[in-house]
Structure 1
Amino acid sequence: MSWTDERVELLKKLWAEGLSASQIASELGGITRNAVIGKVHRLGLSGRGKTTAQQPKARKPRTTNTATPARPRPTRSVGNTALKADYEPAPSPVVVARPSPVHELEIPPEERATILSLNEHRCKWPIGDPTREDFYFCGRHKEAGKPYCDHHASVAYQPVGDRRRDRRPNKD
């Protein structure tokens, strides 16, 4: 399909009347909505007339009727609502897990490791602030296949049962 002068003039007329691109495409025949939008854009036809369907309808003034009680607003729901209750449950209490105090090992300076002295047999637990000069790694002997010594592995890894227990609300 090519854009003849007659079809372009009809497009301009229908666009000015406020027809949608889909309506114009069906009126012209053999053309898509996107082709109409593209041609309108290339022609620079931005101003449009308003059809009666596009004009906002006048609203009736709101009246308050005291005879009928106001309906309760539905609760806002997110996600699958097929099995949700009709009421909003009370919020559950916030549980803050208190970590057990970690007793840091005192590592003698001769056992401390730097990034250059770490190998597969030394604990890689960082101690201190990496931006400061006194930063070091634990450096104690560790088992093969683990990144940390036994003490730091007990700090880094919690058994699954302990994590579940810590999430339950305190009944104090």
Structure 2
Amino acid sequence: MGWTDERIELLKKRWAEGLSASQIAAELGGVTRNAVIGKVHRLGLSGRAKTTTSTASRMRPKPTSQPRRTAVAPAHQPSFASRGNLALAVAPQARPTPAPRIIPIEVIDTQPLTCERVTIMELRENMCRWPLGDPSQPEFRFCGGRSTPGAAYCPHHAQIAYQPVNDRRRDRRVSVPFN
């Protein structure tokens, strides 16, 4: 159904009485709540009938002669804005950052380190493939020490390369400086 002059007048009257868009749509019939809201905006109907006992005035506390004391939020709880489009946004608070703990990684030598310092052309099966130096430099080599069959590294370099899961998680949280 279209918007006739009679239906528009009924819409204006019911809107001024304070009926909701859903109630007006049900009374008019043939239009949705959103159609009513759209027409209200196109007509520029902004004001609503105010009742003396509106819900906002009933819920608002009466002013007292003593000033209201506000509780201070503890430092560990975020404070929130109470109005506007940032009503639920967390207000930034400066918190001191604790100094990172440095936990040394223990490397236990089970066998003495014997690096052969071999090139990639000299590298064979059961030789340690631990890189030594900068790959872009001519003096770049691999460890070449004896590794167990199927392993990529000698026991010394395997301890550095393969850390238990708990140690790896700890290392992500705490930065360990390299020497």
Compute the TM-score of the two structures, normalised by the length of structure 2. 0.40
Give the greater-gyration-radius structure (CA): 2
